[in-house]
């Protein structure tokens, strides 16, 4: 099988974004993550900051309530639903348009009916993730363990709401890798090997 | 990291046993699956048939009740618990004794504190598994879909009971592979590459 699109779902702090970026570089195809934000802002009318905060998970327990209860004027849908629908269309268009790597945003689920998509899930031990978020994003008032817990909960909730699937279940992916054991560059290399072997 | 032991957990019909066997052959190390049964029979006093039926999951809804309620004479433990404890000791001894591949039997959980174990989970689409169980084990009165459903339920229940973890959650493994997409031999080759690369 030849994979046209690789979707990379990842736990916060697992290095999944780095794996995806490195993989795209090795395969010489485009990588879409924050790159989607500007296009989404243009299409949806939402601000880039709102999209960055809400495009992959609900930002906090406060805005969770806001997201799912507020109805956009005229549409009958919540703002979160509006953003999701806009993302879905964009991701479907991208998959049609060009080979690429897409990070997060339920792309695995959105493209589930395509047979040319490799679905990847990247996770890591909590110790690895805690160290990594402090190195990458700096210290915060909140403990790293709490930051991880909150992020996991939000991603789980977002994923469940839009896909009715459980986040991190192996069956939803073709390959799942633990970067705290396998390594970030090694994971990208392993995926590259798998993709080259299959084409 | 050098992996001394590889544990392979697998869905019924996914070809996980074949992946494990092929991997052991490629690595030129021993493979333990049904090979454990005779040793367990000798140690536990249970018959080989009982062990084959109960060593990895509860055999049926009837014996499920039997397994968990019947108390072995003098021990205060159920027969299922006795068998599990015996398996646990044997698996811990094996890991200490020699590099090997161990299939199923909660070996991933039993050896969770060792840092030289690669934990693998093998799964596949239902269509792939249904076709495979008919090819491998023949037709039965029950539909293949029902045989899979029953087996999944029993493995989930067994794993949950002895590990308090959810079966098939990516976080419990270092690498999870879908053989219906990646292939059985290709999965073994990929794992071999990963193990060689890390040593």
Whole-structure pTM value = 0.89
Q: Where are the alpha helices (DSSP H) in chain B?
A: 16-27, 35-44, 48-54, 61-69, 79-97, 107-110, 126-137, 144-163, 179-182, 184-198
Higher pLDDT, A71 or A193: A193
Angle between the N-to-C axes of helices B79-97 and B61-69, in degrees from 0 to 180, rounded to the nearest 10 = 80
Contact (CB<8Å) A176/B181: no
DSSP string for residues in B75-122: T-SBHHHHHHHHHHHHHHHHHHH--EEEESTTHHHHTTT-SSEEEEEE
pLDDT-derived band at A110 (thresholds 50, 70, 90) equals very high
C-alpha–C-alpha distance, residues B199 and B142, integer Å: 46
Segment A151-169 shows an average pLDDT of 90
C-alpha–C-alpha distance, residues A128 and A12, integer Å: 11
Among residues of chain A, what percentage have pLDDT more than 90?
Answer: 53
Q: Which residues of B touch A169 (CB under 8 A)?
A: 168-170
Quick check: A175 and A75 in contact, CB under 8 A? no
Torsion of CA B10, B11, B12, B18, to 10 degrees: -40
Predicted complex ipTM exceeds 0.95: no
Q: What is the pLDDT along chain B (199 residues), one digit of tens a residue?
A: 589 999 999 999 999 999 999 999 999 999 998 887 777 778 777 777 777 776 665 544 445 445 544 444 555 677 778 788 888 998 999 999 999 999 988 999 999 999 999 999 999 999 999 999 888 888 788 888 898 898 888 888 889 988 999 999 999 999 999 999 999 999 999 999 999 887 7
C-alpha–C-alpha distance, residues B190 and A195, integer Å: 11
Q: Which residues of A touch B188 (CB under 8 A)?
A: none
Residue from B171, B180, B189, B198 whose CB has the most chain A CBs within 10 Å, to mutate:
B171
pLDDT of residue A62: 42
A50-82 residue pLDDT tens: 777 766 655 444 454 455 444 445 556 777 787
pLDDT of residue B138: 82
DSSP state at residue A70:
P
Residue from B165, B176, B177, B183 whose CB has the most chain A CBs within 10 Å, to mutate:
B176
Contact (CB<8Å) B174/A177: yes
Q: With CA atoms as reference, report the closest residue to A157 among A35, A149, A91.
A: A149
DSSP state at residue A37:
H
Segment A28-46 shows an average pLDDT of 82
Please tell me which of the candidates B1, B186, B194 has its beta carbon nearest to residue A190.
B194
Q: Is A71 helix (H, G, I), strand (E, B) or coil?
A: strand
pLDDT of residue A11: 93
Higher pLDDT, B20 or A40: B20
């Amino acid at each position: 099988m030849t994979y046209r699109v690789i979707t990379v779902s990842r736990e916060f702090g697992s290095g999944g974004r780095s794996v995806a970026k490195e993989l795209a570089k090795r395969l010489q195809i485009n990588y879409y993550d924050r790159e989607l934000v500007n296009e989404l802002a243009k299409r949806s009318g939402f601000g880039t900051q709102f999209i960055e905060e809400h495009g992959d998970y609900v930002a906090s327990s406060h805005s969770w309530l806001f997201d799912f209860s507020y109805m956009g004027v005229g549409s009958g849908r919540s703002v979160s639903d509006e953003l999701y629908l806009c993302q879905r269309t964009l991701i479907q268009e991208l998959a049609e348009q060009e080979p690429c790597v897409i990070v997060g945003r339920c792309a695995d689920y959105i493209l589930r009916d395509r047979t040319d998509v490799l679905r990847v899930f990247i996770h890591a031990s909590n110790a690895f993730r805690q160290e990594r978020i402090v190195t990458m994003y700096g210290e915060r008032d909140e403990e790293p363990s709490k930051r991880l817990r909150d992020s996991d909960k939000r991603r789980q909730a977002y994923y469940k709401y839009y896909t009715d699937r459980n986040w991190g279940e192996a069956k939803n992916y073709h390959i799942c890798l633990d970067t705290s054991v396998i390594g970030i560059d090694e994971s990208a290399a392993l995926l590259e090997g798998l993709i080259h072997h299959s084409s």
